[in-house]
Chain A
Amino acid sequence: MKVIIDQDKCVASGQCVLAAPEVFDQREEDGIVVLLAENPPQDAAESLREAAALCPALAIALEE
């Protein structure tokens, strides 16, 4: 599974970090999303789908 984030769209709600902290983090200076793992292991799939669904800015795309 590949994760694609759009930092321009991100509004720093932090929802992705709560859903999948092993994959998403936030920049120190403005809370904008950063990716910790571009191709996370398959067992993260469920929490990644949750993160993508929760993102209010629609800034997370998944390629399964």
Chain B
Amino acid sequence: MNPVSAPTHHALTTEIPDYPMSRATGCPFDPPPELSELRAHAPVSRVRLWDGSTPWLVTGYADQRALLGDPRVSADVTRSGYPHQSAGLKARRAEASTFINQDDPEHARQRRMVTAAFSIKRVEAMRPAIQRIVEELIDELLAGPKPVDLVQAFALPVPSLVICELLGVPYQDHEFFQVRSRALIKSTATPEESVAAVRELIAYLDDLVGEKLAHPAEDLLSLVAEQVRAGALTRREAASMAQLLLVAGHETTANMIALGTLALIEHPDQLARVRESQDPKLIASAVEELLRYLNIVHSGRRRVALEDIEVGGVTVRAGEGLVLANDSGNRDPEVFAEPDRLDVGRNPRRHVAFGFGVHQCLGQPLARVELQVVYSTLYRRIPGLRLAADIEQIPFKHDGLVYGVYELPVTW
């Protein structure tokens, strides 16, 4: 214990810290150190956001689960007091309303239109196709020049190909939607840039929904289009939902592939366990552990209280914002022993990397299978995989709403 930091009680000082906080130099996989201190001494305390607002930051695992599962807590971005991540995201959300930012019953009504595609059975049925995609991309890697940027050559194509197949989006348009998706999740994007990106994506997907209405196919966008025909969704709602599924379906998994690979390269003993294992249980455990350890959605789940709520020794008033720092929850020593240690065998299934409550990630079964296939295949087929640069030169997505690396030069 550091004797200097021990008596610091943020709740008792008048200084409200800015959020998000910075990661420590040389610790690219660890959450900002201030979060651990807050979790220990002031687990529910005020922070100051980009717009000067001062919502409550919740850093402990149990408090986060309790609040995310509490119907008195709203995900409705149109409510006053909702703590937006950035000016760009606030402007973008005014453009497109989707179930991720709605409360029940409308949230449940819309989410249930697409849940069938992500059931365990349906996603398991996709595993052979995902394995084939991964094997072919590795064939191309091995046949191509090195060093190579693993993000562009592998991490982005895998989930993009998979989500295109599932939705019925032509993969040849990948550059169009990847570039705009990146703009959407960059916290430094201006409102103008964010709005332009989301408008272009929605216009593109509206065209596709129109095509599926005219020529239904065996894909998820055709099912969404069918809801339009049935009068259950407007064209605008359908295109917005398609945009959410497309963006969420590739960016996050791509970051887990690239950042997860980098984390394993930097922990050679853990990489060896994954590479040499024939046991699907160990691979599944490694996926859960990397989800916990890296917690790439690192700017907090955002909510607003509908009623006064007692939590962590404070009273959150109705109308006040809540920021649930899941990266900190996943390093809570009350729940995970030695939380800062990467241990691919620990199977930490209760992590909150996908959030918790009714908004918990819709695509999690698909993300799990994609990551299981990647982690069990890439290092086995390229056993000498290593960084082709110093880790200090790797550009991390510190400014991203989702964490990861912009580039990952590798060789073997």
Residue positions of A touching B, CB distance < 8 A: 9, 11-14, 17-19, 21, 26-32, 50, 53-54, 56-58
Contacts and interface: CB of A to CB of B under 8 A. Distances in A.
B112 A12 contact: yes
B120 A11 contact: no
A26 B115 CA distance: 10
Contact of A29 (B108, B116, B356, B364): B116
Contacts, number: 65
B349 A54 contact: yes
Interface of B: 68-69, 108, 111-112, 115-116, 118-123, 349-350, 354-362, 364-365
Contacts of B354: 56
A21 B349 CA distance: 15
A26 B120 contact: yes
A20 B360 CA distance: 19
B364 A14 contact: yes
B116 A56 contact: no
A58 B116 contact: no
Nearest to B368: A18
The 10 closest A-B pairs by CB, nearest first: A56-B360, A12-B115, A31-B115, A31-B119, A14-B120, A17-B120, A26-B119, A14-B365, A11-B358, A30-B112
15 contacts: A11-B108, A11-B111, A11-B115, A11-B359, A12-B111, A12-B115, A12-B119, A13-B362, A14-B118, A14-B120, A21-B120, A28-B119, A32-B112, A57-B358, A58-B69
B207 to A, nearest CB: 27
A26 B121 contact: yes
Contacts of B350: 53-54
A29 B116 CA distance: 6
Contacts of B112: 12, 30, 32
B358 A30 contact: no
Nearest to B65: A56
Contacts of B116: 12, 27-31
A23 B311 CA distance: 34
Contacts of A28: 116, 119
Given A30-B112, A31-B118, A50-B349, A11 B69 contact: no
A64 B115 CA distance: 31
B358 to A, nearest CB: 5
